[in-house]
Amino acid sequence: MILPKKYRSITVAIALLIISLSILSYSAARLSETGLLRKMVLEIAAPVEDTINRSLKGLHDTWNRYLFLVGKEDESRRLRRENAALNGLLNSYREGYLEGMRLRELLNLKDGLQHRTVAARVIDNDRASLFKTILINKGTTEGLRVGLPVLSGQGVVGRIIETSWHASRVLLLIDENSNIDALIQRSRTQGILQGAGAARCNLKYISRAENVQTGDVVLSSGMAGVFPKGLLLGIVTGTSGTEGGLFQKIDVASAVDFGKLEEVLIPIPDAGPQP
């Protein structure tokens, strides 16, 4: 029987649907049972696949750890750079603070003087020379001249013995060629403080009858007009009478630590009083 033309399309569609359902049913039935060959393939493939997956996971983890360590190393280098920069900044601030403290001592000293003063920086400490001297970075351009006293916040440093336009050499009070008019603060006994080298001095021309004690403070007397009166020179460290002599042997330790001296102050007496 020949179907009408308008039903042919419907009939073809139904036939195709039935065929598709049949194929799906067959496939489902086949999937429910695994053949021997399939089982052997799965049995061999499973451990191989597991080994491959484990290896890939190990490589993945190793790569992640490598990236993590590289990141940590970069961070560590960055932190080291930052730490070095911060340490440098801290040292700079510390140096600034210490310099400020030293300059404050000089300012306090300056306030007690009646004349114009010039601050200078120590640029050389000639320890190897027979003469105990230092070099400072101020000279005649700033009004300095030979003979002017040189001071620090700790006490008397010495006096200028040589000068140029922008530098001056200072003879320290511990040099054997240095002689300064001095007095003992407690008893007001006067004498001459002479350098003895190695941060030591001798207080000379003190009568054996005078009572001098270890620990007595020695000041500048101001008698010669070079050093202002009342500046700290040192501390008595020992006394002994000279047998058959008129004077005592008095050892004095300088008040200034010359090994750590960095800044000094030079008063200029003839400059007139400070405004």
CB-based burial label for 190 (10 Å; 0-12, 13-18, 19+): middle
Instruction: Summarize pLDDT for 1-43 with one digit per residue, the tens.
Output: 555 555 555 665 566 556 555 554 554 455 555 566 656 656 6
Instruction: Please choose, from the candidates 125, 160, 156, the residue with its C-alpha nearest in 3D space to the C-alpha of residue 140.
Output: 160
Q: Kindly report the number of other CB atoms within 10 A of residue 212's CB atom.
A: 20
Dihedral angle computed from the Cα positions of residues 125, 129, 130 and 132, in that order, rounded to the nearest 10 degrees? -10
The pLDDT tens digits of the residues spanning 147-174 come to: 999 998 889 999 999 999 999 999 999 9
Residues in Cβ contact with 237 at an 8 Å cutoff, skipping those fewer than 6 apart: 214, 251, 252, 253
Q: First and final CA of the chain: distance in angstroms?
A: 138
When comparing pLDDT for 235 and 128, which is higher? Answer: 235
In this predicted structure, what is the pLDDT of residue 275? 41
If 0-12 CB within 10 Å is exposed, 13-18 middle and 19+ buried, where does residue 80 land? exposed
Tens digits of residue pLDDT in 190-228: 999 999 988 899 999 999 889 999 999 999 998 888 888
- C-alpha of 168 from chain center: 29
Quote the Cα angle for 179-185-189, to 5°.
65
**pLDDT averaged over every residue in the chain:** 78
Q: What are residue 237's phi and psi, to 5 degrees?
A: -110, -10
User: How would residue 271 be classed by pLDDT, with cut points 50, 70 and 90?
Assistant: very low
Structure-token pair, residue 15: 């036939």
Asked whether residue 178 carries a pLDDT value surpassing 70, the answer given is yes
Query: What's the confidence (pLDDT) of residue 16?
Result: 54
